[in-house]
Amino acid sequence: MAATADAGVLEVAQLQVRPGQATAFEAAFAQAQHIIAAMPGYRGHELQRCIEHDHQYVLLVRWDSLEAHTVGFRQSPEYQQWRALLHHFYDPFPTVLHYRAAGSGV
């Protein structure tokens, strides 16, 4: 199936939560997900927990564009709320990369 130009951007964040903090992290994420879901350019997200290493997660977020994430979200007041809820759980700080469908031509 061919990729479309409207595929948007996929943010992939590899999260390592401090051992013993997974339950608290998931509770905080349940609150924080409402923040990101309300942002302009947001399309959807999912949080997956690793089976082999239960303190590791991957967060996948779909955005309309790279700028919707890097400027619209990360430079917003709402990002400060997101940060306060979640960033203290990470060690080390997450690697975040952005992807677009191969062959999208954009």
Per residue of the chain (106 residues), what is the pLDDT tens digit? Answer: 444 558 899 999 999 999 999 999 999 999 999 999 999 999 999 999 999 999 999 999 999 999 999 999 999 999 999 999 999 999 999 999 999 999 755 5
Is pTM, for the whole model, over 0.75? yes
Residue 79 CA neighbour count, 13 Å, CB half: 10
What local confidence, expressed as pLDDT, does residue 5 receive?
57
CA gap 36, 45 in Å, rounded:
9
Q: Which two tokens stand for residue 65?
A: 């564009």
What local confidence, expressed as pLDDT, does residue 105 receive?
58
CA gap 62, 41 in Å, rounded:
9
